[in-house]
Amino acid sequence: MNLLNYIVWDPDPILAHLGPLTIRYYSTCWLIGLLLGYLLMQRLYKQQKLGDDKFEPLFLYIFFGILVGARLGHCLFYQPEYFLTQWDHFIEMLIPMHHMPDGSWKLTGYEGLASHGGVFGMFVAIWLYCRNMKVKGWVVLDNMGIVSGIAAMFIRLGNLMNSEIIGKVTDVPWAFIFVREDQYPRHPGQLYEAIAYLIIFLLILFIYKKKGPKSVGTGLYFGLCLTLIFAFRFFIEYTKEIQVAFEAGLPMDMGQILSIPLILLGVWSITSSFKRAKALEEKQEK
């Protein structure tokens, strides 16, 4: 195996230092993804004449819902033996700091966010938003389905810059050697997902442009987003190394297990969207 044939990957995960603050590529990619999602969602709200007073609170609901859900998802799904066994580890789950051996606390940022947890946190945030702002849930879910792919793409690019969630050893010519991990060529699973999520985003956006704003609120776009993203996630897991040791004893890894209910929810949303679309057409004709 000639290692010179592969892509050597060893970027500094830190983008810049601003005094005592450290800006990482990972957090920057998260913010870029959320910003693009915010701007696109704002445009969708205007097209659908939902009003700025309905839109402005949405970003805060979604931001904190995804952040809290992603953090808790990582801690509870992937490292419960660490975060639930000592009081200081439990606190680390809630704040972006690490308890050092000398008893001091160090600001580290949230080291560990799980996409499945972020999705569940988003569901809770949308439920609270719809209840408080009196907006129809299917409208918000469909709009999230249209924009989510672009945010997911940038999150996976952040994982790539962190050299995390690496793939299995392979001899494909586009393999990456993640220097901070080892010297073996591996599948760049993060890049596979980023490219797939971009394609899914463009596909759903194309369908929306063809069908128009009146098609929002049936659950079609929400269902397409869940089904396509998590079906791809399920199969791409076969190219990845396990993230935590206990997954070695499971028939499927945790990412696949958590993807199954989301795929089923997506398929149900698509199949039932046609009934809701018919009901909306009948309502508009009256």
pLDDT at position 238: 93
Asked if the model's pLDDT at residue 112 lies above 80, the reply is no
Burial of 86 (0-12, 13-18, 19+ CB in 10 A): exposed
Q: Is the pTM of this model over 0.85?
A: no
178-198 pLDDT, tens digit per residue, is: 999 898 999 999 999 999 999
* Domain assignment of residue 215, given as a range: 137-285
User: Would 38 be classed as within a structural domain?
Assistant: no
pLDDT at position 98: 78
pLDDT at position 177: 95
Do 160 and 278 fall into the same domain? yes
User: Would 17 be classed as within a structural domain?
Assistant: no
Residue bearing tokens 């129809």 = 136
pLDDT at position 139: 94
User: Would 25 be classed as within a structural domain?
Assistant: no
Q: How far apart are CA 6 and CA 56, in angstroms?
A: 46
Do 176 and 276 fall into the same domain? yes
Q: How far is CA 268 from CA 149, 221, 246, 260, in A?
A: 20, 12, 31, 12
CA nearest neighbour of 229 among 259, 272, 207, 209: 259
Please identify, among 86, 110, 134, the residue that sits at the C-terminal boundary of a domain. Answer: 134
Q: Under 8 Å CB-to-CB from 43, ≥6 apart: which residues?
A: none
User: Would 123 be classed as within a structural domain?
Assistant: yes
Please identify, among 90, 118, 134, the residue that sits at the C-terminal boundary of a domain. Answer: 134
Half-sphere exposure of 268 (CA within 13 A, CB side): 6
Do 201 and 224 fall into the same domain? yes
Number of domains composing the chain: 2
User: Would 83 be classed as within a structural domain?
Assistant: yes
User: Would 124 be classed as within a structural domain?
Assistant: yes
Do 104 and 164 fall into the same domain? no
Query: Which range is most confident: 118-122, 130-134, 250-254?
Result: 130-134
Do 153 and 95 fall into the same domain? no
Please identify, among 81, 110, 134, the residue that sits at the C-terminal boundary of a domain. Answer: 134
Helix (H) or strand (E) holding 97: strand 97-99
Do 67 and 182 fall into the same domain? no
Do 211 and 81 fall into the same domain? no
Supply the mean pLDDT for the chain. Answer: 88
pLDDT at position 90: 86
Do 149 and 234 fall into the same domain? yes
8-49 pLDDT, tens digit per residue, is: 999 998 998 887 777 889 889 988 998 999 999 999 999 999
pLDDT at position 83: 85
CA nearest neighbour of 35 among 56, 71, 63: 63
Do 157 and 280 fall into the same domain? yes
Q: How far apart are CA 204 and CA 202, in angstroms?
A: 6
Do 148 and 279 fall into the same domain? yes
Do 110 and 166 fall into the same domain? no
- N-terminal to C-terminal alpha carbon distance within the chain: 69
156 carries a ligand binding annotation? yes
Do 206 and 244 fall into the same domain? yes
Q: Under 8 Å CB-to-CB from 237, ≥6 apart: which residues?
A: 252, 253, 255, 256, 259
| Other beta carbons within 10 Å of 264 | 13
User: Would 10 be classed as within a structural domain?
Assistant: no
CA 59 to chain centre: 15
